[in-house]
Structure 1
């Protein structure tokens, strides 16, 4: 409207528009019919022009406001989605300011560390992850030369004292401060250690299997010769006693070699078996043996724990674990044995893998933490009279059944073993 009004004023100033009326101060006003008509028409056109422009501008303003509102809604949705992702991702995410004080802490970070946002907010990063920002000579000063990003894996102790193996990645933010993303790699490290141990034991087993056979042959000759001499000669009591020692020790060595060969090259004969039956048979044998003296046995087993496995070898596994528990409870204690079916979550598989889980725990002396990693190594033992093959055989048999075995132990509290074996599929 301002533009139209200015246009009319300019046209009138430069005498382009005809004069529609003349004003005489003394009195009469003279009108010309043609001038009046032209003036009316121009005013009508001007009003319509102004109305059109005003309507167009108003419509345009409403449209722009609507687009801005839609963009605000989109930005709000994007912000909410970003917040949802940060709060529900499995990786821990936290941010720190220029003074290394924590400014945000997502739910995964709370779950992994055991600390809540309220506990760590505005606290130094060292209160949660000691010396993290000092690794590899990293400097918090942006003026210092050095890497702007670094990654590190290190052991971290949770709020409850449990140790975890975490992987960290640290990056600077444009607004100042840093964002730290971390993941729990404990399970991954355990699997890696199991694979390394498996490769090491496989090589050792193949080497030792041949040696064991070479040792067994002369042992058989010694044992046989001693028995023949014992029966054919008139021996004094002392000589008779020495012959008995030779026979007994050769038999013990032969049993040791048999156990070692079971570790080195176990011949697995797979068949459909129910682990409940295998366990109950082994528990019955253990109850009636001297090793179960002063030990209270608690059993809780599901009825059907069907897998594809070697019943004889798995019975050996359970027997070795029961003996291990009894040796840890010389003054008596509790032995708990449980078995149930479960699922293991797997990537891209919502149903997961079906497994049979066997738990065997005791209230014995426990194992020192610095020896836990070696407990399944051959010839490693915490007892003076042990051969160091019992748990090595257990590990090897479970491994050959495509299963896993985990150990948890605290000195003075006891030891627990968790075995997972793949459950037989219904179509098998």
Structure 2
């Protein structure tokens, strides 16, 4: 037996509860026994017997008080319950012995000990205590009773059978209660896990969900719904749904009247100050008691609406571009004839009048400008070139730089490149040449008669892309115009078409890259991000 020398608590929570119930019941029982002895007639038992009973019961009661007073130490005793049951069995036997054995009024204490044992140790404990009770009682009975009479054996057998039946009944009952308790605890844990899983699923869904009862009160709301309706404190949920969403007041009655198309296109907002941007679907759930519940499912459609607008715009733009390209192609043929006729007239007529010559020059110049505009537009509108190859970026840039310097007027631009010789990109080589031609020619036109220096550098980015920076020391681009430079037909030049940079953006996009204007204190600074062969293959595999 291990007493409170061991400072850690040995008993688990369930056993501690049993010890507490057992101790309280034992103290109540001692009080009943003490009160019972008051009614016993001293002339029947005699003063010595009465004093022995008081002594035994009083000692037990004092021991119980000490147990309660030192409850913390009691819980650290490993075999407290078995030893207490054994002590109570011996006390009961002593009281039965003092009060007439088979005629004793304390025989019921044996049954109470069996009941306590079944509560603490189920069927096994009840049977053990019943066996010990039967053996102890049989010994007392045999010593104090004339066993020659057959009735004595019947009486003893009846008591032994009563102990056994009490143990079986109480033990089976406690075992069943224990099984039911375990089953209920298991079901409670399963329900708790399901509720936790339900809450996690509800809060991980990227749409807003509000559950409304039959009285229109909000029962549950997930994290996305709280974010969409701007609700910061979920503790204030004892609200009706239209207090969170005023625009939906009366929606349950009106929803059934809407057509499928109207439901799909139904939009609302959490406030009248915000434009409608939330889609809505309502699910009606009827409980077993026929009371309806409603599930409001809504989603922020702002980004989707923006994408739809962009898609619609691009679709219209593509259709317009295709039509305009056809018209431009048809205009180009007669325009070439007009230009040729003007040149022939200028050669053959040779007008002496200065004004006539000036009119012919204006006609020829404007015809050439119109032809340039049509050429640039056709280049911008022509289908994407999907022929891609792996090529050296340094060789391509140096080739374009050499061509531009050869054709430029004085002062010729200085083009410096800092590109690793082994750096290769995967794109259409012919169209990438056009990209750098546009960058260099734009810089030359912006510089005018000023000395121009263009720097082209390239490096491998952390994600495997090739980053190319094109900088010049020209006049740069005003911040107010930065957002519009890639728009078609936007230009700040008197003779420009506004299609150079949009064409660059289109080519880079077709190569699965990006182009952007980088803010710069001096000159213009463009940054390209181009895929390498490995990165392009990875994108294709991911798309597949």
Same fold at TM > 0.5:
yes
Match of 1:244?
361
Q: Is the 8 A contact 1:100 1:124 kept in 2?
A: yes
**Structure with greater proportional strand content:** 1
Aligned equivalent of 1:264, options 381, 392, 417: 381
Aligned length in residues? 350
Deviation for aligned residue 1:258: 0.8
Match of 2:155?
39
Deviation for aligned residue 1:204: 3.3
Q: Is the 8 A contact 1:103 1:122 kept in 2?
A: no
Local SS of the residue matching 1:58: helix
**1:59-82: per-residue Cα shift (whole Å, max 9, x none)?**
121222122222222222223333
**1:360-389: per-residue Cα shift (whole Å, max 9, x none)?**
996522589xxx8xx85x668899987564
Match of 2:232?
117
Give the RMSD, CA atoms, in angstroms.
6.2
Match of 1:182?
299
Aligned equivalent of 1:168, options 255, 279, 283: 279
Local SS of the residue matching 1:365: helix
Structure 1 residues 277 and 133: alpha-carbon distance in aligned structure 2, compared to 1, 3 A threshold: farther
Deviation for aligned residue 1:56: 1.2
Match of 1:85?
201
Q: Is the 8 A contact 2:376 2:497 kept in 1?
A: no
Match of 2:428?
310
Structure 1 residues 362 and 78: alpha-carbon distance in aligned structure 2, compared to 1, 3 A threshold: farther
| Greater shift in the superposed pair: 272-281 or 74-83 | 272-281
CA separation in 2, counterparts of 1:283 and 1:102? 70
Match of 1:425?
534
Match of 2:77?
none
Local SS of the residue matching 1:169: strand
Match of 2:325?
209
Deviation for aligned residue 1:210: 3.5
Match of 1:50?
166
Aligned equivalent of 2:249, options 108, 120, 139: 139
Aligned equivalent of 1:76, options 192, 201, 207: 192
CA separation in 2, counterparts of 1:121 and 1:300? 62
Which 5+ residue runs of structure 1 have no aligned equivalent?
3-28, 291-298, 329-336, 344-353, 408-415
Which 5+ residue runs of structure 2 have no aligned equivalent?
1-110, 113-144, 286-291, 410-416, 447-456, 471-475, 518-524, 538-544
Structure 1 residues 30 and 130: alpha-carbon distance in aligned structure 2, compared to 1, 3 A threshold: closer
Deviation for aligned residue 1:247: 2.2
TM-score, with structure 1 as normaliser: 0.56
CA separation in 1, counterparts of 2:397 and 2:217? 55
CA separation in 2, counterparts of 1:327 and 1:124? 69
CA separation in 2, counterparts of 1:42 and 1:124? 65
CA separation in 2, counterparts of 1:398 and 1:215? 29
Local SS of the residue matching 1:146: helix
**1:192-242: per-residue Cα shift (whole Å, max 9, x none)?**
444434443443344333432332222223323333443444333333322
Q: Is the 8 A contact 1:101 1:124 kept in 2?
A: yes
Structure 1 residues 342 and 30: alpha-carbon distance in aligned structure 2, compared to 1, 3 A threshold: closer
CA separation in 2, counterparts of 1:79 and 1:69? 15
| Greater shift in the superposed pair: 393-402 or 211-220 | 393-402
Deviation for aligned residue 1:167: 4.0
Greater relative contact order, per chain length (Cα 8 Å cut-off, separation 6+):
1
Structure 1 residues 283 and 95: alpha-carbon distance in aligned structure 2, compared to 1, 3 A threshold: farther
TM-score, with structure 2 as normaliser: 0.46
Q: Is the 8 A contact 1:104 1:121 kept in 2?
A: no
**Structure with greater proportional helix content:** 2
CA separation in 2, counterparts of 1:94 and 1:278? 59
CA separation in 1, counterparts of 2:269 and 2:395? 42
CA separation in 1, counterparts of 2:467 and 2:217? 44
CA separation in 1, counterparts of 2:207 and 2:438? 39
Local SS of the residue matching 1:272: strand
The structure with the larger Rg is 2
